[in-house]
Amino acid sequence: MTHWYSKSLGDGMWAPTARAEIENLFEPVFVSEGMPSDMAVFLREEQGGLHCEWIAYFSPAAQRVAERIGAAPCAPPMRAGLELLAGNESCWSALFPE
């Protein structure tokens, strides 16, 4: 069974640093894997508590990157509200067929 992975990036103040770290880790792995359409990282701003929190969602094909960043297995995210952080645009149809 393949899992998605998620990692909290913190609130809006801390998220840009974590986003850059993920992009830097993702790119060389993505290229070495042949830039597969099912390998991607998404972001969503989640409401909760006192502050908003940014969550990164790693597709199953991005497992190596997810593990390096300390992400935990999770259920597949709902597409609504996601933004693509890393990967190519073809990932939308590969990962979220309608």
DSSP symbols for 57-90: EE-GGGHHHHHHHT-EEEPPPPSTT-EEEES-TT
Comparing C-alpha atoms, which of 33, 36, 56, 34 is closest to residue 45? 56
Backbone angles phi, psi at 67, to 5 degrees: -65, -35
Task: Say if 39 falls within a structural domain.
Answer: yes
Domain enclosing residue 23, as ranges: 4-88
Task: Say if 94 falls within a structural domain.
Answer: no
Provide the CB-side half-sphere exposure for 38 (13 A, CA). Answer: 11
Say if CB 72 and CB 5 are below 8 A apart.
yes
Task: Say if 34 falls within a structural domain.
Answer: yes
Comparing C-alpha atoms, which of 98, 28, 19 is closest to residue 54? 19
Task: Say if 96 falls within a structural domain.
Answer: no
Task: Say if 97 falls within a structural domain.
Answer: no
Count up the domains in the chain and report the number: 1
Task: Say if 98 falls within a structural domain.
Answer: no
pLDDT by residue for the chain (98 residues), tens only, comes to 479 999 998 776 667 788 889 999 999 999 999 999 999 999 998 876 666 888 999 999 999 999 999 999 999 999 999 999 999 999 999 999 87
